[in-house]
């Protein structure tokens, strides 16, 4: 389903071995030390390497990690996983998420971003819960469905961050009053787009007494302007001129 080649080994995965190995980890010359947002220059970062949004505390979480950019083969794999219902992809995709985490990360529980029940019935599974399973065995902490989605929200990829946030307000609730109290939470989502969902969920976990919130997503949308991103590898490819 990626290169179009014939599969030569019996497997439920719709990809050949070389294609499975194609998704690449995020690369950029400058990252925020807290949220790992990529930048074209060090301009937006302070002397601790932290971006303005993290300094302001508006993000709501302590750290955020992603495996790769939401483009190319990784984007296709996520589409096959979510929209073509190929749930066996949760294994290899979840393994990529494990690679994005620092080795010394300390958490007490893994909390998947929930789907509204209607969406879960449509899709047959919550992709975030499936992605969290390889993490459960690696980190030796339980997956806890600590957040419920009480209201169905439309996916509005084109709306502004403020619109998305107000659309999400009140859409999530904690599954129990003390469920995250004093806990270090790893919040798992599939794709980080504007960050509105994880910011809303982080705020909810904080209100519930969570000690820390670390966000982990499989992929994130690269919001750097495309021209700037392209310029660097192009000059390198042409002989490494500075």
| Residues binding Zn ion (CB under 5 A) | 2-3, 5, 16, 19, 32, 34-35, 51, 54
> 32 or 205, CB closer to Zn ion?
32
Q: Of 46, 50, 47, nearest to 31 (Cα)?
A: 50
> 73 or 209, CB closer to Zn ion?
73
Minimum separation from the CB atom of position 136 to Zn ion (A): 27
Q: Report the C-alpha gap between 94 and 110 in whole angstroms.
A: 13
> 13 or 54, CB closer to Zn ion?
54
Q: Is 150:171 a contact under the CB 8 Å cutoff?
A: yes
Indicate the helix (H) or strand (E) that contains 66. Answer: strand 63-69
Minimum separation from the CB atom of position 2 to Zn ion (A): 5
> 54 or 111, CB closer to Zn ion?
54
Minimum separation from the CB atom of position 22 to Zn ion (A): 8
Residues 6+ apart with CB under 8 A from 235: 241, 242
Minimum separation from the CB atom of position 32 to Zn ion (A): 3
| Cα→Cα distances 236→57, 69, 175, 232, 239, Å | 37, 21, 51, 6, 6
Q: Is 209:238 a contact under the CB 8 Å cutoff?
A: no
> 57 or 240, CB closer to Zn ion?
57
Minimum separation from the CB atom of position 66 to Zn ion (A): 12
Q: Report the C-alpha gap between 33 and 85 in whole angstroms.
A: 35
């Amino acid at each position: 389903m990626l290169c179009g080649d014939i599969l030569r080994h019996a497997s439920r995965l719709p990809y050949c071995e070389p294609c499975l190995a194609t998704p690449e980890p995020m690369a950029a010359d400058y990252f925020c030390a807290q949220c790992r947002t990529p930048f074209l220059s060090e301009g937006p970062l302070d002397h601790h390497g932290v971006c303005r949004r993290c300094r302001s505390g508006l993000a709501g979480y302590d750290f955020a990690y992603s495996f790769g950019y939401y483009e190319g083969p990784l984007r296709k794999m996520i589409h096959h996983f979510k929209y073509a219902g190929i749930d066996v992809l949760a294994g290899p995709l979840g393994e990529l998420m494990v690679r994005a985490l620092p080795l010394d990360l300390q958490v007490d529980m893994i909390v998947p971003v929930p789907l509204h029940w209607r969406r879960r019935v449509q899709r047959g599974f919550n992709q975030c819960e499936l992605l969290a399973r390889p993490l459960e065995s690696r980190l030796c902490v339980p997956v806890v469905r600590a957040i419920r989605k009480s209201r169905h929200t439309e996916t509005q990829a084109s709306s502004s961050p403020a619109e998305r946030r107000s659309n999400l307000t009140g859409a999530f609730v904690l599954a129990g009053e003390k469920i995250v109290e004093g806990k270090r939470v790893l919040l798992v989502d599939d794709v980080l787009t504007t960050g509105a969902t994880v910011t809303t969920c982080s705020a909810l976990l904080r209100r519930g007494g969570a000690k820390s919130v670390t966000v982990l997503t499989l992929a994130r949308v690269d919001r750097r302007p495309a021209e700037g991103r392209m310029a660097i590898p192009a000059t390198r490819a042409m002989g490494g001129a500075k």
